[in-house]
Structure formats: structure tokens, C-alpha cells
Amino acid sequence: MINNKSDIHIRLEPEESEALKKVASGNGQSVQDFIHDAILQYLHKKSLRTDGKFTFIDLFAGIGGMRLGFEQAGGSCVYSNEWNKYSQKTYLANFGDWPEGDITKVDARTIPDHDILVAGFPCQPFSIAGVSKKNSLGMATGFEDKTQGTLFFDVCRILKAKRPKAFLLENVKNLKSHQRGQTFKVIYESLQELNYDVFYQVIDGQHYVPQHRERILIVGFDRERYGSVNFDFNLNIPEHKPVIADILETDVDEKYTLSNKLWEYLQNYAEKHRQAGNGFGYGIASPEGVARTLSARYYKDGSEILIEQPGKNPRRLTPRECARLQGFPDSFSIPVSDTQAYRQFGNSVVVPLIGAVAALMTDKLQELENEKASL
């Protein structure tokens, strides 16, 4: 097993060493863990900038796809949060910022003030039954009752504590139909209850990248600050629609070619489901077309997006091609294993789409601020 960790030795005076042990012990940590956390906190604070047109925070940050989009729109990230250690590593390599960990343990008051909250929050089941029972008894249910125990609750409590001008939330298309629409109803009502005007739309990223990728985007503006707000997802669609050929590398390692055993299995599996009348099976991406949705499971066999190769078995995409498929620039560093990279890009967002929505939001905020100043 390869150990990618490196040791750094520091020298302390005896009294400094004793003081450090005392502080670490009082914090319930070993000296090593205390120093480790202190260095990461320093890196986090050192990377923060406030010289952009607006400030934002990056929650459930993953590898920073949402951050890239909002930076493209002129924003400065003043706080990030992501619990996965491999995603934290990629985030650090690209932004010089080690995101804070478990969001459920973060005191919202310690998060810096910001203009826009950005979050690609996970979709968890809500306990609809308890809410329904309270409603039937005529009892009030606030967002704390409705969302407690889910990670969406942490988004709500940060919105309540910090009161940003706007927010953008991103999730899978099926959020709208999850639990027969009840999950989305809770989310929408909770955001409205916090006194934000809320707008949402399912958007396919294939106008920006060669991938069919539908995601729901939820935008909100602070009613307490601006009153009633109107917002439309009138995106500027690029003239050139990208195709798979645009993202392919020219010199690809043989390790990405499917083995005979795997290729035979995928063909047999597809034929079995074809005979059963199902649409399951591998997908060969046309060079002049768009791919299926890249998923976090791509590392398993790559079956949903395969590239044909003359005279040999098809191959899976390389991690760099997956990055391009999501609109990440080639300057984006990939410091993790292929397996982790596939998971990370499969879980990420279409960067140029997020950038386009961020531009719409900042234009609307500027308009609202101008109207407010003229009153």
C-alpha cells in the first residue's frame, strides 16, 4: 500500500511544547491532531478573498464545481464546507482551501457574512408522517419541525442565522417527485417560510457540455430586503453545442480499455434485458452526440458512457475526460486515484451551467440593489 502522507517536523521551546499539550488536552485531542486541525484552519482562512463583485459560501462543496461557476461570475468564496476527505483533498489542491467538516456541528454564527449561499445538498427522506399528524391536529410546523434530522435543515438554519441576499440550491431532477412530491413540498414551504421568494427549474446541462444531465436548480431572494421579486431562468445558450469529440483525449492509456471478460459480461447483460423488454445496458457514446448522465458509480465498469475503438474493445472515459464532460477546465488538478476521481466528477455539477445561473442571479441582485437605492 502506498502511503501518500508526509511528515513535517517542528521545533518548539520546552514551555511552548507544554502549552501546546495543555491546549490540545483541553480540546480532547492529541497534539498531532490539534496541530493538524490548526494548520487546516489556517489554510482555510488564508485562502479567503473578499475582492470580488459579491461574496458567497460553498456548502456540500464536493470538489468545488459550484464554486468555480460562481467565481466565473465574479464572486469571492468566504467559506466552504465538505465532509468527504478525498473531496477535501481535491478542493485543497485547486483552491488552497481545506473545507470545514461535519456541517451538523458548525455553529451558523461563526460562518462569515455573505451575499449568496450556494449548496448542492444531499436529498434525504423527510419524516412526512410527523408533519402530517401535526397539521391534522391544527398544530403549527416550522421548518425546524419539518426538516430536523436532514442535511437540508442545516441549509435552513444557516439561511436563518446569516440572512444572505440570495441562495442557489442544486439537486437531482427526481427531487420534485421524491416521496410523491412531499419532499419538495417541505423544501419549498420551508424556504418560503424563511421569507425568501423561491424559483426553481429543471435544466439539462447538454447545451453547455456534451452530456444529458438534468438537475433541479432552486433560487431564492430575500423578501425582507427586496420585497416581492420576479426571476426567470433566461439563460444565454452557447451557439456551439458541444459534442463528445470535443472532450476526448488523443493518447489514452490501455488500462481504460475494457477487458474481454468485462466487455462480454456487459454485452450479455444488455442482451438479457433487451429480451425482457427493458432498456438497461451499456451506452456507446457517439463522437458527434452527447453522453448519458455521468454518475458516481462510473468507477465500477464505466458502462453508461463507453467510447468505441477501431479493432478493439471499447474503453471508459479517463478522469480528465470526465472533468471535461462536466465543464471543468484542464487546469483543474486531479490529485486522487481514478476511482475517487470518477466518484467526484460523477457527483459534481455542470460548471458552465452554474456559472450562467450565477450570472443571472448577480444581475438580478444588482438590479434589486439599484431599485432599493433609488427609493
- Active-site positions? 123
209, 356, 237: which is closest to 294 by C-alpha? Answer: 209
CA distance 118 to 168: 5
Q: Which residues contact 276 (CB under 8 A, 6 or more apart)?
A: none
Burial class (CB in 10 A: 0-12, 13-18, 19+), 220: buried
SS3 26: helix
Strands 306-309 and 312-316: antiparallel
CA distance 63 to 338: 14
CA distance 322 to 346: 8
Sheet with 75-81, strands from edge to edge, namely: 75-81, 54-59, 116-119, 166-172, 214-222, 196-204
Virtual CA dihedral for 38, 44, 50, 51, nearest 10 degrees?
120
Q: E-assigned strands of 149-261?
A: 166-172, 196-204, 214-222
Q: Which residues pair with 59 in a beta bridge?
A: 81, 119
- For residues 118 and 73, the answer to whether their CB atoms sit within 8 Å is no
The cell for 75 is 464572486
The conformation of residue 258, written as its DSSP 8-state character, comes to P
